[in-house]
Structure 1
Amino acid sequence: MAVTKELLQMDLYALLGIEEKAADKEVKKAYRQKALSCHPDKNPDNPRAAELFHQLSQALEVLTDSAARAAYDKVRKAKKQAAERTQKLDEKRKKVKLDLEAREQQAQAQGSEEEEESRSSRTLEQEIERLREEGSRQLEEQQRLIREQIRKEREQRLRGKAENPEGKGTPKLKLKWKCKKEDELKGGYSRDVLLRLFQKYGEVLNLVLSSKKTGTAVVEFATVKAAELAVQNEVGLVNNPLKISWLEGRPQGLEDPRHPGLSQRGSLPLGTSTQEEDRSHRFELWKQCASKLLSSPLPHLESPGVSEPHGPAILGFGFKSFGQAIGLLALAVTLSLPTLTPFRSWAHWEIALSASVELPQEAKSPGPL
C-alpha cells in the first residue's frame, strides 16, 4: 500500500470516530460499524463508497499495528504542535514565519522541527510498506466478518420470502396493553423492554410504539417462524399482560396440534381473527350441550353416586360406566371454561350425568383434553 500525502494529512482517529487513546478492541469495533455502513456491496449507487471503505481499511491497518501507530502519532503530534504555535502568532509574526518557511523550502534548508517531521514521515511510510508486504491478517479477518454478516442478512431475507410465499411482506404483530395517557412509564413497556421481550424469538426488523394511541405498538420480524413463536409464547409483564394479534404476514392453514380446527394459540377457531369471536363460538357450542343436558326429564337421585337403576340413563350417552359419564361431563366443562355458572350445585351435576341426550355433532369430537 503506497503512502500518499492524503494519508499523512488525514486524521485517522476522526475518520473512525474514536479517541486518540482508544484500545485495539475499540478501533476494530469502530471499523466494523463504519465499514458496514459504507461497504460497496451495500452502497452500489455511491461512487465514494469504495474510496471511503479503502480509507477505513488503511486506518485499521495503521492503528492496530503498534509500530505504525506510534509513527503516525508522532507525525500527528508534530503537526498539531506546529499548528498550535502558528495559531498563537499574531498576523504580522505569522506572515514573517510563513515567508521564512517559504524561503527555507526554496533554499532546501531544513529546520530541526521539519527534519524531525520528515524522519517521522519516512518511518510511517516504512511501517505501512511493511504491513503491505506482510499482509494484514487483522484487516482480512475484519473484512471476512463484514462479508459473513452481509451474507447472513441476505439469507435471512431470502428465508423470510420462502416462508411467506404469499407475498404478504414481513410478518408484523400488533401489541396492546393497559396504559393511561398520563402514565410516563407507558404501562411498563418502553421500546427497550419490548425489544428485550421479542428479540429472543428471532431477529426484530422494526418496532414502533404508537404516538397517538397509548398502549399500542407494532413489531416486525424477519421470519414467520419468529413471529409464530412470539404469538404462541409471549405474555409480557405479569402485572400488565400483552395482547398479541397478527397484523400482517400470518401463515394460512395453521392448526394447534392439541385441538384440530383451532389456531396455534389454542384459542381461535380457524376462519376467525379475534379472541372475542373465539369466546362467542365456544359459548354457543356450550349452550347447545347445556340445553340438551338440562332439558331432559330425569329420575330423582337419592345420593351423589349413580346407582344401578340409572344405568340405562347413562347408557343413553353410549357409556357403560360412571367414569365414562364423567368423561362426557368433562367435555361440557371444557367447552364452557369461561362460563361455569350453570354447574353451581350437585343437582345440576346429577342432571348432566343422567340425561339421555344426543350431543351436537361438533361437541362429540373435541380432541384430547
Structure 2
Amino acid sequence: MSITSFSLSATDGKARTGVIRTPRGEIRTPAFMPVGTAATVKAMLPEQVRATGADILLGNTYHLMLRPGAERIAKLGGLHRFMNWDLPILTDSGGFQVMSLASLRKLTEEGVTFASHVDGSRHMLSPERSMEIQKLLGSDIVMAFDECPALPADRARIEHSMHLSMRWAQRSRDAFGDRPGHMLFGIQQGGLEQDLRGQSAEALRAIGFDGYAIGGLAVGEGQEAMFACLDHAPDQLPTDKPRYLMGVGKPDDIVGAVKRGIDMMDCVLPTRSGRTGQAFTRHGVVNIKNARHADDPRPLDASCTCPACTGYSRAYLHHVFRAHEMISGMLLTAHNLHYFQQIMEGMRVAIAAGQFEAWETAFHAGRAEGDIPPL
C-alpha cells in the first residue's frame, strides 16, 4: 500500500477520533507523538516506546542534519532502519530549532543561514533544503518549512512572519512534489491574532496539504491564551484533514486541545520530566526526589501497568534517582510515556462513546485529588 488517508470515526462536540493510514501503519487519533530528537527517544528502546501505545514518533530535522547528517542516514537505509523503528515517523522542518538553538542566524526571503550549536559550522536551511533533508530521512509525515517568532511579539512582526511562512509553505509544497505514501503538512501561523490565523489558514488551504499544523503556540503565551487561540484556530482548518498542535504539552494542555478539535500533539515533557525525577500520574505530578518517598514501598500509581509501577517501589525509584543511576530515567520515562498514551486511549474511547465531557470531568477530578498521602 502506497496511499495515505485520514478518516474520522466519531466526534463529540469539537473532539474527534479517527485514524491516519500510512504504508508503515495506522495512527490512531487523538495521537501523542513521543519526541525522538536525535533518532532516539531518550532512555527508551524502540520496542519499549511501542509498548506504551505510541503509533508514531517525531524526529528532528535540525538535529539530524547537523549530526550525524541526513546524507549519512540515507546511505544507511533511512531514519526508520537507522533507529530501528518501523512505524510512522513525523519530522519537523527545522525552523523552530534554528530560531531557538542556533547562533549567528540571518533570516532572508531565501531561508535562514546559521551557525550550528554543536560545532559552530555554517549551514543554510530553506524550504527546498528542508524538503530535501526530510526526503533523505525518509519520514512518513513531512512538515513545511516555516518561521516561528517567539511570543510576545508585536502584531507587525507576527504578520510579517506569517506571510513569509506562507510563501515558504508554497515553496515547500513545490519542492515536496509527488511522493506517494508520504504526507506533507502545512503550518498555520499568526500568533494570537484571530484574523491573521484566518489569513494563514486560507493561504494554506489554497496551496493544499495532507494535514495542517497549528504552529507558534506553547512558546510562552500561557495556557489561557493558548486555549483562547484554539477556540478558533482549528475551526479555520479543513475538517477532513488531521490537525496537529506542535509542541504541546502538559496533560491538561493535551486534553484541552483535543476538546477544541486537535488530532495530534508532541512534546518533550514526559521524557524530559522522567530524567529529572518527575512522574505524571492520575493524581498529579510526583517528585520522586522528595524525601517522603525514601521508605515508601508503594508504587507510583497502584493502577498503572507500566514497568516502573508493576516492578518497583517509590523507595527504589527515589534511591536510584538520588544515586544518579541510569535506570531512574529509564523507568520514569517509561511511566510518563505510558501515562500520556493512556490519556490518549481514554479520550479515543470516550469520544467514540459520546462521553468525552464525563471523561474530562473525571480526568480533572482525579488530578485535583493530588498524590496519595505519605506513610
Q: With structure 1 as the length reference, what TM-score do the two structures score?
A: 0.25
Q: With structure 2 as the length reference, what TM-score do the two structures score?
A: 0.25
Which structure exhibits the higher relative contact order, with contacts defined as CA atoms closer than 8 Å and separated by 6 or more residues? 2
* Structure with greater proportional strand content: 2
**Which structure is larger by alpha-carbon Rg, 1 or 2?**
1
* Structure with greater proportional helix content: 1
